[in-house]
Amino acid sequence: MAQTKQTCKKTTGGSAKCGVLLKFKKLMGHGGIQVLKTVQSKGALPLGEKAVLKPLYHNIFCLFCWDGGSLYECSICPHVVCTKCVVVPVEFQERINDPDVHFMCPGCHEMRGKGSRGGPMMPYFGFKDCDGTPVLKVPATIHGHIEMASWSQICSNPILVLHFILTILDPAGSPATTMQHKLRPYRPNDALQFHEIIFDIGMDAKADLHVESMKALVDCLKHLEYKHVEIFIYTHSETDQGDIWGGFEDDEFVGKGRNRLAIPGDPVAYPVDDVSWIPPLLYGM
C-alpha cells in the first residue's frame, strides 16, 4: 500500500494568492457599491416610527443580587428582581399577583419616575395598577444596591455561537472557544449552543462540499430556540493586502509508491470588502 507524506505549512499567516469564487455573485448597490441584503420581518416598523418597548423575554438573574429564585418581572424591560431584594408586606402579596397589577423595576423607575428636571426622585413603590396608582401603601423596601448601571442586564436568554475555523488552525486558541468556556457555568441548560465548523473554501469544489455541510447544520439549528447569534471567523490574514484566508488550493502529489509525496496547496485569500465569499461560508447559499 502506497504511503503518503503530508507536511503542514506554517500557520502564522503570510502571503496568499488572491482568489475569487466565480459561482457566488456579488451583490451590487447603487453606483456599483457592494452591499449585503438586510432581512427585515414583515412586522418591523419603518425608520422614523417609535415603538413601545415591550419585553419579549426576561432575565433569570436578579438586578440586585445577580441570583435566581422567585422573581418579579418588570412590565417595561427584561429586568427581574427577586423577592428577597424587594420586600412586599404580607397583606399585599396576593394583590400584586392580580392581572391588573404591573411591576416596574428600579431601573425603569429611575428613568421614568423622576419629577421635573432637576427635581427630587419620586418614591419607589414598584407595583402599580392599570391606572398608575401604587398598590403598596408605603414605598417598597429594597435590600441591597445595584452594582452596575441601572439599565445594564445580565443576559440569560439563549445564545447560538457559530465558530468558523480555518482547517489548519487549532480552535483551542480562539477567543470564541475561551468565551464559551467562561460562559458555560453561568448558562442554564441548552441556553448556550456552541458549534465549531471547520472550513476550507479555497476552491469551488471545496465550497460545494461546505455548502452541503451548512445545509445539514441549518436543518439541525432550525429546531432550536435562541435570541442572539454570535458568529466568529477564526482564520489568517494575508500580510501584504490584509485579505482574509478562505482556504487552500488542492494538494499536488508527486512521485510513486513509497516515494509518493503530497505537496499542500497554497493558501487562497479573499479581499475583506469582497463579500462574495461570505454567503457560502456562513449560510450555505
- The model's pTM: 0.56
Q: Count Cα atoms within 13 angstroms, Cβ side, for 110.
A: 9
Using 50 as the pLDDT threshold, list the residues of the chain that sit under it. Answer: 1-10, 24-53, 116, 275-276, 285
- What is the structure's pLDDT at 15? 63
Can you tell me which residue has the cell 455561537?
161
- What is the structure's pLDDT at 205? 85
- What is the structure's pLDDT at 279? 54
Classify residue 170 as exposed, middle or buried by CB count within 10 Å of its CB (0-12, 13-18, 19+).
Answer: exposed
Phi, psi angle pair for 40, to nearest 5°: -125, 130
Segments making up each domain of the chain, as ranges: 53-156, 158-282
- What is the structure's pLDDT at 47? 40
- What is the structure's pLDDT at 14? 59
- What is the structure's pLDDT at 92? 92
- What is the structure's pLDDT at 281? 60
- What is the structure's pLDDT at 26? 45
- What is the structure's pLDDT at 247? 81
- Evaluate whether 20 touches 247 at the Cβ level (below 8 Å): no
Pairing of strands 101-103, 159-166: unpaired
